[in-house]
Structure 1
Amino acid sequence: MDDLKYGTRNKRGDWAPNATVEIAPFWAWPPALGRVLRWLPEYLWPWNAFHMATALAYWYLVVPDVETARTLTPGWILWLYAVNALAIFAMYGGIELFYYIKRVQGTRFKFNGKFPAEQPSDVFWFKSQNIDNFLRSFFVTIPMWTVIEVAILWCHANGIGTWLAWSDHPVYLALLVFFAPFIHEVHFFFIHRAIHWPPLYKWIHSVHHNSINPSPWSSLSMHPVEGFAYFAVGLWHLVIPSNPIVALFQLNIAGFGAVNGHIGFDKLELTDETALDSHAFTHYLHHKYFEVNYGGDGLIPLDKWFGTWHDGSKEGDAMMNARFKKRKDRMKEKESAAASM
């Protein structure tokens, strides 16, 4: 595919799409029903459908029965960790293999023209972003995912929380499934914004942001505190009436869905004529500029409301730079006032 039909490449080899990032169309005024109807299939397919498929597979093939889950024993806990780890290895590793090791589409649609393997750095374990990110994912963050997963299943088995049956509440639970990505986005925005507070950023979130040029293994490369807070989105299903399948769906949005923002490509070419949209550009801009796009793709436009939205345009650059300048000017004023006292 010719990526220059869809975007531009600068002198450094970095590619950017022509289309700017937009918030979900139902926030538009006046309402645009046609846009919403066109957006709906993209919202459901393929990513959210995939996450629901994995949730169902987990429930029917992986999760222990209620009697087993009532007691915390190493066997089923390690089993869940193994499944999570193998699933992530298969999904993330497959993308890494084809697009970062074999490089089957070269740098077409790649936001950063370089590959992490070409950029060794002392900030990473063994000076390798790939090794560092891989180890942190499998020995830090996936265990945190498993801890939250075990807690939810144990609570369900022991009657802690309000758990509803699909046969009794099909409409409510279907709506909860539909809005689970919204819950993820709100949760992610606020915990993400919190760990950008300088003290927390220095000790916690900087681990993730070392990967300025993210790749699939960067997705779950986190400090333990961030990993726990990130997957704690699943704990909302102990607060609201829910169903364990919906809770697993919520966790899998976080676990498998983390790769979307870190794929590094706008599109993954599947054939010469077809490609899969990654929806990665919004979060790539966050890794590039650090202080924009704390949330997701604009399902809930919290970044827009809080003034941290960047749509990838020159206007977005100008708004971001104006915000940075305003903050810098305020700091200078405070320093001047302190010096004059």
Structure 2
Amino acid sequence: MSDEQLKGWNHLPEVPLKSSPFFSWPLDPVAMAKWAWNSWFLITEKLLILGIAIACYVWFQPPLEAAQTFGLGWISQMYLRNILLALLVAGSLHLWFYTYAAQGQKLKYDPRPLMVKGKQFTLGGQIRDNMFWTLGTGVLIWTAFEVVLLWALANGHMRLITFEAQPVWFITIFFLIPIWESFYFYLIHRALHFPFLYKHVHALHHRNINVGPWSGMSMHPVEQMIFLGGVFVHLLIGAHPLHILFHLQYYFLSAITTHTGFQGLLINDKNRLALGTFHHQMHHRYFECNYGSLEIPWDKWFGSFHDGTVAANERMQERRKRIMGK
């Protein structure tokens, strides 16, 4: 880490931030293998969310045959499950990091507390605002998209992929979903920063300059539909119900985990689970940078990458002045 560091942050990870080695030349097989391993294996948010999806499919998912017709019973079951999942994940992370401050300021990026009050927030406060949009419209849209896709699958409007018939492709889809999310997220996020969409849609999410777990899915309903809409790629490539569950849970739950405001979960003074990314934390403070993620280096290619260094910050300030016409 450079001796010269960004000002105004409580915790900084190692900088400059690095994007996926899969898009660097010459290719480095060791770095690629390490990136893939660290992204997925041992204790990672991707593997934990996949475990949650499997548990939901085995114990809390109505049979596919039930989805052939829309019915209050099976749809209500899925909606209740999703509400409880959102409450469990976001609620437990909020309790750990903010209510009980179990690790204090350790690994917390922004030194400031979440805003208790603010006229810009629905219901007058940041946490109430965030919970309102997450549990209100967010879970409703999440469930609606699941219902539509399962209905399409049950009625033969989408190709059913099973492990028995196509084991390699069945497993590969799980690894492709985060890559697709990175590709899709940059495109829609960049569009949401166009002035009209920003003012009328995306500005609601950017009320959160300092973020917490409930901030991740705190979005205008239009943005929630656009963000979660990437799951409809399965209409083209097919899916198993487990793919649909994982895909939407990955979108929704990883939005929560990556907005914790902390680099990770400390247990016995060791970071046991990587969570919030400084890459996206900077986007919430500086706005016109880091529209994508580190999986695909869109921001590098289009000149909007902030790698966490002072030099990058100066470049981004100049870029912001040009965008604002100053």
TM-score of the pair, normalised by structure 2: 0.93
Paired residue for 2:16? 20
Match of 1:283 among 280, 284, 287: 280
Equivalent AA in structure 2 for residue 319 of structure 1: R
Is the 8 Å Cα contact of residues 141 and 227 (structure 1) preserved in structure 2? yes
Alignment of 1:25-174 (within 5 A): 25-45=21-41, 46-117=44-115, 119-174=116-171
Task: Give the superposition deviation at 1:74.
Answer: 1.6
Deviations 1:164-213 (A, max 9, x none): 22111111222221111011111111111111111111111111100110
Letter in 1 for 2:89: M
> What amino acid is the match of 1:73?
G
Native 8 Å contact 1:260 1:280 kept in 2: no
Q: Quote the residue 1:254 is aligned against.
A: 251
Q: 1:55 to 1:273 in 2, by over 3 A?
A: closer
The number of aligned residues is 323
**RMSD across aligned positions (CA):** 2.1
SS state of the match for residue 12, structure 2?
strand
In structure 1, C-alpha distance between the alignment counterparts of 2:182 and 2:82, rounded to whole Å: 22
Residues 261 and 282, structure 1, Cα contact 8 Å, conserved in 2? no
- Which residue of the other structure, out of 204, 212, 215, is the alignment partner of 2:212? 215
- Matched with 1:335 is none
Equivalence for 1:295 = 292
Deviation by residue 1:271-324 (Cα, 9 ceiling, x = unmatched): 23343222421110110111111112x211111112211111112212212323
What runs of 5+ residues in structure 2 fail to find an aligned partner?
none
Q: Identity across aligned pairs (percent)? A: 32
Alpha-carbon distance in structure 1 between the residues aligned to 2:16 and 2:30: 19
Contact 1:55 1:248 in 2 (8 A): yes
Whether 1:319 aligns to 2:315 is yes
Say which SS state the counterpart of residue 142 (structure 2) adopts: helix
Higher alpha-carbon deviation: 206-215 or 189-198 = 189-198
Query: Which of 185, 192, 195 is residue 195 of structure 1 equivalent to?
Result: 192
Q: Which amino acid aligns with 1:197?
A: F
Higher relative contact order by CA 8 Å / sep ≥ 6: 1 or 2? 2
User: Following superposition, which runs of at least 4 residues in structure 1 exceed 3 angstroms of deviation?
Assistant: 7-10, 325-328
Shift of 1:38: 1.7
Q: Contact 2:6 / 2:309 at 8 angstroms: preserved in 1?
A: no
Worse overlay, 308-317 or 221-230:
308-317
Kindly indicate whether the alpha-carbon contact (under 8 Å) linking 1:134 and 1:217 is maintained by their aligned counterparts in 2: yes
- Given that 1:292 and 1:303 are in contact with CA atoms closer than 8 Å, whether structure 2 keeps it comes out as yes
CA distance in 2 between counterparts of 1:9 and 1:201 reads 27
Partner residue in 1 for 2:229: 232
**Which of 238, 243, 251 pairs up with 1:241?**
238
TM-score by length of 1: 0.89
Contact persistence 1:153–1:244 (CA under 8 A): yes
